[in-house]
């Protein structure tokens, strides 16, 4: 059996190694147009920022090491220019010598990845305008910084690459500005959760220009002007475009393979394309979202590795199937960690799902053990069925641990109410006896039993102030004096029972505290005394963070610049 693989890195290199482990006699050839067949794509920003100092650390395998261990021919600087389905061959060009030739195959694997999205606007291609996708891109940016010592940079795009670059370039002492059309960074997160990411970025000195459309680039005064629609331009010594990626599928299109979202390659759960004996994996393929079942593009290294392994199994006579991607991811944002799995509330609603959420602010470990830090968790679930749909966590310590537990729970098909039953490891330096994941489950169980009724951030603007409801803030007097929602009366929870006669019966009571815990206790006191109550999801800490962020963005939009 002869297997030809177009593209290395996560999908292609994984498939190649797995095929060899399953079939010692197979002839395996990998064509990679860059000089690197297996590298740490996710580590590239950290090399630019000197967190990783040795460029060889980025290279997981070389053509020589691959051949030595697996006897696989890794042909770098070889670009496949055409796929001939009828002849089961590919046309290849040696980019170093210019030689062109054809290579036949029994099985063909496409792992071309994706390329940085390049908008069709004036100025794309100028010298001081960069993209970051390959090792060569990384070295180009690094060399420019070393030789020219730029003092400022504009990043167009606020996704994973944009944020990681922002941190690393800021650590090099550069003034960093992020500009993008959406009014939030990190679209996998809901806007309310993204506000905590915004706060951390601003705290570290990164300027956010959100809600602005880039219309072009111009070289000016030794740097680059980033031209914005209906706003003054931004000037920097260099610009990096990081607005996302587009599947690199021109070969598949020209060969007549079925294409899907944004020109991605359509595959079945065996990772087979529409053409027999041709498989595809990685950022170039359309997958099913594990939670919604809808077609999706999810460009992450973990799914690409799994898909490459599945292809290898099936080529070698197995029956492996890809069950879909749920988008589990984590990112370091300076001192903060942000993580997500499944779908967020926004996308769940767009998918037509009837959802609810709980928002809580637990400590990373036992409160009595020194060093604990607050995290903010948002868990999304389906009403009525309590199917667990997704989760987002922003915090400092223990974020990655909890998101992985929640990702596993989603994959296992647990209901949100079952989170309370998970037997999770506890010791004071690492967790609490009631782990944050368990706490989310307790809250959702209370909702399912009617013990807890909530009101949410989006309800705040529509709360009546005509006396038809009671608005109650149960924090301490000091907390209330430092900031509160207009119209809310302050009665601390520990004094509530002594003031029940001041709260009119027959009116719904909307309760808030700092995190949601004391207001829940207040709700139970009130419910036990004949009141109907609604507890604010997230607490005033959450409300204040989101509203401050929204205010900064809206003020900046009105003035033509964010802070």
Q: Look at 67 and 156; give whichever has higher pLDDT.
A: 156
SS3 30: strand
SS3 485: coil
pLDDT computed for residue 8 by the predictor: 84
pLDDT in tens, 514-546: 999 999 999 999 999 999 999 999 999 999 999
Lowest mean pLDDT among 201-205, 314-318, 495-499, 554-558: 554-558
Asked if 152 and 223 count as a contact pair (C-beta separation under 8 A), the reply is yes
Task: Name the pLDDT band for 301 (thresholds 50, 70, 90).
Answer: confident
Q: Could you give the percent of the chain with pLDDT greater than 90? A: 84
| Active site members | 42
pLDDT computed for residue 559 by the predictor: 60
Q: What number of H helices and E strands is found in the chain?
A: 14, 33
Q: Where are the beta strands (DSSP E) in 202-244?
A: 207-210, 214-220, 223-228, 234-236, 238-241
Q: pTM of this prediction? A: 0.94
Which long-range contacts (C-beta less than 8 Å, at least 24 apart) are formed by 269-274? 269/321, 269/322, 269/323, 270/310, 270/311, 270/314, 270/319, 270/320, 270/321, 270/322, 271/307, 271/310, 271/311, 271/314, 271/322, 272/314, 273/110
Asked if 395 and 436 count as a contact pair (C-beta separation under 8 A), the reply is no
pLDDT computed for residue 557 by the predictor: 66
pLDDT in tens, 395-419: 999 999 999 999 999 999 999 999 9
With residue 542 as reference, give the H or E element that holds it: helix 539-559
Task: Name the pLDDT band for 561 (thresholds 50, 70, 90).
Answer: low
pLDDT in tens, 170-198: 999 999 999 999 999 999 999 999 999 99
Q: Give the residue carrying structure tokens 């609604």.
A: 534
pLDDT in tens, 254-267: 999 999 999 999 99
> What dihedral angle (degrees, nearest 10) is formed by the CA atoms of 40, 118, 244, 247?
-70
Q: In Å, how far are 153, 161, 281, 393, 529 from 513, measured between CA atoms? A: 41, 37, 48, 20, 20
Q: Give the residue carrying structure tokens 């779908």.
A: 343
Lowest mean pLDDT among 13-17, 62-66, 215-219, 465-469: 62-66
pLDDT computed for residue 286 by the predictor: 96
Question: Distance between terminal CA atoms of the chain?
Answer: 59
Task: Name the pLDDT band for 136 (thresholds 50, 70, 90).
Answer: confident
- Per-residue pLDDT at 563 exceeds 70: no
SS3 218: strand
d(CA 536, CA 455): 5
pLDDT in tens, 311-333: 999 999 999 999 999 999 999 99
> What dihedral angle (degrees, nearest 10) is formed by the CA atoms of 441, 334, 302, 107?
160
pLDDT in tens, 4-48: 999 988 899 999 999 999 999 999 999 999 888 776 677 889 989
pLDDT computed for residue 117 by the predictor: 83
The vertex-561 CA angle with 482 and 186, nearest 5°, equals 75
Tokens read off for 60: 């997981």
Burial of 38 (0-12, 13-18, 19+ CB in 10 A): buried
- Per-residue pLDDT at 562 exceeds 50: no
Phi first, then psi: what are they for 188, rounded to 5°?
-60, -20
Asked if 512 and 520 count as a contact pair (C-beta separation under 8 A), the reply is no
User: Can you tell me the mean pLDDT for 105-125?
Assistant: 90
Q: What helix, strand, coil percent values describe the chain, rounded to 5?
A: 35, 25, 40
Asked if 448 and 386 count as a contact pair (C-beta separation under 8 A), the reply is yes
Task: Name the pLDDT band for 555 (thresholds 50, 70, 90).
Answer: confident
Q: Give the residue carrying structure tokens 């604990």.
A: 372
Q: Give the residue carrying structure tokens 């602005």.
A: 212
User: Can you tell me the mean pLDDT for 232-256?
Assistant: 94
pLDDT in tens, 421-435: 999 999 999 999 999
pLDDT computed for residue 558 by the predictor: 61
DSSP 282: G
Q: Could you give the percent of the chain with pLDDT greater than 70? A: 98
pLDDT in tens, 46-95: 989 988 888 777 776 788 888 889 999 999 999 999 999 999 999 999 99
- Per-residue pLDDT at 348 exceeds 70: yes
- Per-residue pLDDT at 340 exceeds 60: yes
pLDDT computed for residue 243 by the predictor: 84
Q: Give the residue carrying structure tokens 């053509």.
A: 63
With residue 545 as reference, give the H or E element that holds it: helix 539-559
Helices 9-22 and 63-70, packing angle to 10 deg:
20
Asked if 445 and 379 count as a contact pair (C-beta separation under 8 A), the reply is no
For the chain, what is the radius of gyration of the CA atoms?
Answer: 27
């Amino acid at each position: 059996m002869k297997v030809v693989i177009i593209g290395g890195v996560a999908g292609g290199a994984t498939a190649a190694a797995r095929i060899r482990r399953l079939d010692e006699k197979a002839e395996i050839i990998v064509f990679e147009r860059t000089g690197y067949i297996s590298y740490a794509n996710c580590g590239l920003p950290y090399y630019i920022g000197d967190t990783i100092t040795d460029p060889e650390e980025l290279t997981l395998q070389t053509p020589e090491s691959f051949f030595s261990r697996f006897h696989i021919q890794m042909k770098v600087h070889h670009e496949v220019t055409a796929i001939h389905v009828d002849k089961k061959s590919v046309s290849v060009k040696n980019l170093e010598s210019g030689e062109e030739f054809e290579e036949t195959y029994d099985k063909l694997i496409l792992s071309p990845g994706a390329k940085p999205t390049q908008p069709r606007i004036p100025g794309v291609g100028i010298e001081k305008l960069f993209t970051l996708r390959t090792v060569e891109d990384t070295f180009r940016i690094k060399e420019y910084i070393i030789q020219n010592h730029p003092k400022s940079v504009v990043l167009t795009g606020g996704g994973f690459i944009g944020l990681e670059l922002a941190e690393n370039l800021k650590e090099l002492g550069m003034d960093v500005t992020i500009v993008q059309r959406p009014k939030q960074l990190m679209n996998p997160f809901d806007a309310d959760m993204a506000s905590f990411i915004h706060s951390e970025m601003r705290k570290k000195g990164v300027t956010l220009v959100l809600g602005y459309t880039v219309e072009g680039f111009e070289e000016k005064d030794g740097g680059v002007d980033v031209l914005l629609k209906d706003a003054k331009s931004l000037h920097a010594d260099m610009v990096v475009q990081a607005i996302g990626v587009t599947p690199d599928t021109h070969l598949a299109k020209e060969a007549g393979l079925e294409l899907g979202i944004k020109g991605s390659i359509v595959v079945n759960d065996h990772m087979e394309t529409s053409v027999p004996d041709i498989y595809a994996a990685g950022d170039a393929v359309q997958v099913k979202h594990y939670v919604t079942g809808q077609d999706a593009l999810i460009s992450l290294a973990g799914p690409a590795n799994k898909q490459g392994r599945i292809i290898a199994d099936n080529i070698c006579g197995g029956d492996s199937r890809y069950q879909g991607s749920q988008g589990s991811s984590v990112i370091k944002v300076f001192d903060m960690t942000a993580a997500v799995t499944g779908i967020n509330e926004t996308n769940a609603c767009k998918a037509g799902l009837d959802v609810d959420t709980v928002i809580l602010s637990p400590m990373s470990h036992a409160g009595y053990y020194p060093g604990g830090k607050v995290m903010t968790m948002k868990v999304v679930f389906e009403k009525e069925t309590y199917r667990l749909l997704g989760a987002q966590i922003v915090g400092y310590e223990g974020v990655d641990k909890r998101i992985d537990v929640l990702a596993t729970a989603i994959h296992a098909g647990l209901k949100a109410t079952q989170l309370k039953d998970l037997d999770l490891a506890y010791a004071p330096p690492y967790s609490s006896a009631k782990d944050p994941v368990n706490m989310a489950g307790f809250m959702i169980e209370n909702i399912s039993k009617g013990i807890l009724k909530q009101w949410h951030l989006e309800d705040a603007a529509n709360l009546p102030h005509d006396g038809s409801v009671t608005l109650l803030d149960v924090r301490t007097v000091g907390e209330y004096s430092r900031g509160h929602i207009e119209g809310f009366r302050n009665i601390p929870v520990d004094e509530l029972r002594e003031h029940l006669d001041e709260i009119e019966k027959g009116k719904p009571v909307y309760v808030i505290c700092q995190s949601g815990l004391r207001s829940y206790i207040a709700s139970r006191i009130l419910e036990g005394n004949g009141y109907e109550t609604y507890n604010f999801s997230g607490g005033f800490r959450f409300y204040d963070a989101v509203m401050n962020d929204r205010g900064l963005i809206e003020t900046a939009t009105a003035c033509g610049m964010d802070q």
